[in-house]
Amino acid sequence: MTIAIIGATGLVGSEIIKVLEEKNIKEISEIIFVGSKKSVGKKIKYKNKKEKIVSIKEAIKMTPKYALFSAGSKISTKYAKEFNKNKTIVIDNSSAFRMNKKIKLVVPEINGKTITKNDKIIANPNCSTIQLVMVINNIYKKRGIKRMIVSTYQSVTGTGYKAVKQLQNEEENKQTNKSVYEKKIHRNIIPKCDEFNESGYTKEEEKIIKETNKILGSNIKITATAVRVPTLGGHGESVNIELEKETSKQQVIEIIKKQKGVYVDTGTKYKTPVEVASKNEVFVSRIRKDFSQKNSYNLWVVADPLRKGAATNAVQILELLININK
């Protein structure tokens, strides 16, 4: 079986390659590595071998069984259905298809069973949404959630190589004409992830709100503030939930513990973003009662946006599809 990785040289694409190396999926016999015009013809390392990077048009002609996209929404919008014409199933990491009613938005541990042989494009959710729904899924199912307040602390790695470079240049006091962020990020925080929409919310905040309810099939009242912070590694989220049913703190802890792929720290133990870098799981800690609102709790959630927030989730979807289409 042949698969293609679109955007193989980017941060997410590079992480997909690492995850595939770790998992060593036996059904995969060949991988097509796709890059931009600047990268075509160059070599990329996979399992200690150097593989040639090809163009996306060449990859379409090679008719892979599956294509994992991580090259942005413009590329996905332009080429995903071109792959479909050659019977290639697409797993897309961009925002291009996430809110399309005909396309499933999947976190395998939560709604992976909804995937069928008829699905030609599967959307991978936003990184901040994935780690959030992993933690609240069972709480929503068992106790119900009325309202949720989410404040994110998002690493520059979530923006890509150029953002990481901007942070590094600012740390070293180097001048650059190609800043990704309009304001300084070193020793600073920016209360703007993605672009603003007419409501004053950013696209990132809108993704958290809309994608969460689509994945869970819920109608939770959600408000969000997404903040970019000068860190490498994981994204942090401060989450406040108001439950429908009366629930003790211990019950909340036990419910979260039952979610596969989530690790819970109790008492005074907690995880920071740097500690979860390159890990595939989601980590939750500082679970405590909110005394200002009846039946409400605060949670601290961290995960690597390049792993479970993108690459790991996409490869898990690939594994589901392989099993479905055997």
Distance CA 126, CA 226 (A): 12
Reference 134, options 18, 275, 237; nearest CA is 237
Task: Tell me, yes or no, if 186 is annotated catalytic.
Answer: no
Task: Tell me, yes or no, if 193 is annotated catalytic.
Answer: no
Which residue in 207, 214, 235, 308 is the catalytic one? 235
Residues 6+ apart with CB under 8 A from 12: 70, 93, 306, 310, 311
Each as own residue / partner, the long-range contacts of residues 109-113 (CB below 8 Å, 24 or more positions apart, any chain) are 109/134, 109/137, 109/259, 109/260, 109/261, 109/316, 110/134, 110/137, 110/215, 110/216, 111/215, 111/217, 112/316, 112/317, 112/320
Reference 66, options 30, 96, 21, 101; nearest CA is 30
Which residue in 20, 75, 127, 243 is the catalytic one? 127
Catalytic site residues?
A: 127, 235
